[in-house]
Amino acid sequence: MKREFSTCPSTFTETWPGEFANFSWGDFLTAIPAPIFLVTSYKANGQPNACLQSWSTFVGDARQFLCILGSVARSGHLYSTLKATGECIVNFPSVDIYDKCTATIHHNQWDTDEITAAGLTVQAGRTVHAPSIAECFLNLECKVLWMREHFPNSRDLVACLQVQHIAMDPARYNEDQLGRYGPTGYIYNVHSPRSADTGTVTPDCLGYIQLHAAPADDSEER
């Protein structure tokens, strides 16, 4: 039988001060994985900005391909650059450069080229005025369609990006080579899963997709 939750389980405790102010307890209970990527843009002083992101999704139809950023902090450089320029690039890394991606968190000063300081390489976008990361196997050049509050006066916003151009390593879209999945493909954020019964915390870790054949579709036989 399922357990029901409307409030934070009493067993949950913060692993660092302010953890439950910055993240919902529901995030830790469900621990739903999401792909990891960096959103890059130019700050008003011309220096490249790099923001490590997750909690997002990608969707589209015949007219457009969209990236929905689930949480853009008003206080961060990403929000100010998206608002000022309306352009950015979404860069997908493989696990071998993940340490450099996380290094961007510690090189986020206003006057810093955050990409170069983390040991990564800046390339110019083809269709937008934003920096691309050369080492990332997939780069989505985007324009901002809209940004909206989660709720009135929320700390964070949702941003909808429209993809203008795609650059992808051929070895990734060929599944008989490196491919998009497995340990050399997309990496996923597994965010501190917690047990509601004991409060036990599984530390942050990375995940990847293991492919399984889908069940045969027998709808035509029914």
Mean pLDDT, the chain, rounded, equals 95
Buried b (16+ CB within 10 A) or exposed e, 95-131: eebeebbebbeeebeeebbbbebbebeebebeebebb
User: Which residues are registered as beta bridge partners of 89?
Assistant: 40, 141
Pair of tokens at residue 204: 């942050």
pLDDT of residue 220: 57
Domains of the chain (ranges plus CATH)? 34-184 (2.30.110.10)
d(CA 47, CA 40): 11
User: Which residues are registered as beta bridge partners of 48?
Assistant: 42
d(CA 34, CA 119): 25
d(CA 40, CA 141): 10
Q: For residue 17, name the pLDDT band (cuts at 50, 70, 90).
A: very high
pLDDT of residue 215: 87
pLDDT of residue 218: 66
Q: What pLDDT, in 10s, does the model give residues 205-217?
A: 999 999 998 888 7
Torsion (CA) 12, 14, 20, 24 in degrees, nearest 10: -40
pLDDT of residue 185: 96
SS3 25: helix
Q: What pLDDT, in 10s, does the model give residues 95-139?
A: 999 999 999 999 999 999 999 999 999 999 999 999 999 999 999
List the one residue out of 141, 191, 150 whose CA is nearest residue 35. Answer: 191
pLDDT of residue 222: 52
Helix or strand (DSSP H, E) at 26: helix 25-30
Helix or strand (DSSP H, E) at 114: helix 114-117
